[in-house]
Amino acid sequence: MDREQEEAVLRITASYVAELEAGLHPRLSDYLARYPQYAEAIADFVAYYHAVEAELPPAGEVSQVAAERSESSDEKIVYMRQRRDAKRLRKVAEGGLDSPALKDITDPGR
Amino acid sequence: MDMAQASVDNESMCDAEVVRCQTSLAQAYDPSPHNASSAFWEAVECVETPLETLVKYLRSADKRKDIQARTRILAAILERTRALNELWARKALGHVVAPEGERCALVDDLWADLSERMVQALLDPARPFWEENFLHCLRFERRHVYRSFMLREGRWSDPGGQKRMRIPRVMLVSLDQRLQQEDGSSSAFDVEDERAQVMLQAVERHELLHMVLRLPERLQAVILLIFWEDRTEKETARILGISDRTVRNRLREALRLLRDTLEGEKEVRYG
């Protein structure tokens, strides 16, 4: 699919999502029938959207939660430490037991 | 209202929405403070500045080869979308059962992959829709990143990588049952792979969608129309503009692929 076609699919699927968000219950079959040349890409996106994206809260709500979480420093510290440790563990896995990252993880004073 | 009228109305609605979006963006963009002023950077870092406007600022800075401004605007965009993208990464990998440390690393990697793809897309002026509907472009990018990630990690193609996936209980129970129709008959489809049909029809809607994602694109529409929208093979053929025979062939191929995946998971998990 070239860039022009991808832009077309973006606009079509944006319209599908906008209808969904407006509570209009769009039917996949209507979109496939209307845009048969993009049927595969539309079906692919719609399956993905309902499987993964549809359950996500609206972006505004997530920003609000993130802002609140950043104020809750204890939770943020725990979360950041988990992420940092995950990254270091990967480095250990790549570098073996001699990896400096191992010392960071096992250092009790960190 | 007939289909043609509905289509016209929908397209009019979309056109109106696009014009409204473009107008509001133009209003937000045109009076932007002069670059490099403190007011400009306040606008960049203000959460109320539309992300679409930030993309315009970013591309403008990139065109001027203003590296410092480009980097700062990019950082602002990534920071604004960080919480949402992290939540997405956790959600997208929610059905992958893995030890906590491994899951954390996977979520981190998926998020990092997305950030990389976002930077490429944001800096590409040949992708104008980012300046009109940022969140939808982000969804689209996430879809590509998710698929690439699952394939690369062997979660979709490597049988060993699929062994920890949860199999819905209702599906396991149904494996040894025949499909019962309303009229008492035991099969409604003229497809050889009856067992796979039974498995798919017993799968919860949400699980079905996750399975469909693993199929090649050309097979997805047929499965979605028949199992998700409850269309008949004839209706499916009409909607897609293909023959009944092609529908049956695609259905058979998709069912074979899904059956192999499901039975592989069942064998690995339960012996």
* CA-CA-CA-CA dihedral for B245, B250, B252, B253, to nearest 10: 140
**Cα dist. B234→B6, B238, B243 in Å?**
23, 6, 8
Return d(Cα B85, Cα A59) in angstroms, integer: 10
> Which run of H or E residues covers position B44?
helix B38-45
Residues 20-49 of A with CB under 8 A from B: 27-30, 32-34, 36, 39-49
Q: What is the pLDDT along chain B (271 residues), one digit of tens a residue?
A: 444 454 545 555 556 666 676 666 666 655 555 556 888 888 888 888 999 999 999 999 999 899 999 999 999 999 999 999 999 999 999 877 778 788 889 999 999 999 999 999 999 999 999 999 999 999 999 999 999 998 888 777 543 344 444 443 334 334 434 444 444 444 444 445 666 666 666 566 667 788 888 898 889 999 999 988 999 999 999 999 999 999 999 999 998 888 887 776 655 555 5
Q: Report domain extents, chain A.
A: 3-55, 59-106
Across the interface, which of A36, A52, A89 has its CB nearest the CB of B101?
A89
State ipTM: 0.72
Return d(Cα B5, Cα B19) in angstroms, integer: 21
Whether the Cβ atoms of residue A32 and residue B239 lie closer than 8 Å to each other: yes
Nearest CA among A84, A106, A1, A107 for reference residue B105: A84
Chain A to chain B Cβ contacts (< 8 Å):
129
In CATH, what class is B166-270?
mainly alpha
Q: What is the end-to-end Cα distance of chain B in Å, rounded? A: 55
**Looking up tokens 């969804």, which residue turns up?**
B139
State the angle between helix axes of B67-92 and B51-63 in degrees (0 to 180), rounded to the nearest 10.
Answer: 140
The answer to whether residue B214 neighbours chain A at the CB level (below 8 Å) is: no
Q: Is the pTM of this model over 0.95?
A: no
The answer to whether residue B231 neighbours chain A at the CB level (below 8 Å) is: yes
Return d(Cα B175, Cα B128) in angstroms, integer: 48
For chain B, the C-alpha Rg in angstroms (whole number) is: 24
Distant-in-sequence, close-in-space partners of A64: CB < 8 Å, separation ≥ 6: none
- At residue A85's C-alpha, the angle toward residues A84 and A89, to 5°, is 120
Q: How confident is the model at residue A7 (pLDDT cuts 50, 70, 90)?
A: very high
The answer to whether residue B139 neighbours chain A at the CB level (below 8 Å) is: yes
